[in-house]
Amino acid sequence: RTLPSRDEKIVPEYVEACLNVAKKHNLESINVYEEMKKDEDWPRFLIDGLHFTSDGATLIYELLKPILEKKIDASEMLMPDWRDISSVKPEDASKSVPV
């Protein structure tokens, strides 16, 4: 399967620009293009050369999952666990929220 008339030669320029923005703002980033290209049949990740297929969405999920899990595990809870909220007076739960 071939991609539509998108010039793949310019993709690395966009990738580099995106990674530079992330670096400038001290954000974690993923080179999705590089990860896709590791697969011999990498065009299967894109429906039209730009938008992800379900395989592409799965790849994004697999790449993001460990990063998000690490960040979620490291973050503190701002609201009480739902199990700790009274069904009689749920508004009391907001009293423990830092303002």
pLDDT at position 76:
78
From CA 99, how far away is CA 91, in angstroms rounded?
A: 15
CATH for 1-98 is 3.40.50.1110
90: left (phi over 0), alpha (psi -120 to 50) or beta: alpha
What pLDDT is stored for residue 72 in this prediction? 84
> Tens digit of pLDDT per residue, the chain (99 long)?
565 566 778 889 999 999 999 999 999 999 999 999 999 999 999 998 889 999 999 999 999 999 999 888 877 777 777 888 888 888 877 776 666
Q: What is the pLDDT of residue 5?
A: 60
The H or E element spanning position 5 is none
The model's pTM: 0.67
Question: Maximum distance among all alpha carbons in the chain?
Answer: 62
How do the domains of the chain map onto residue ranges?
1-98
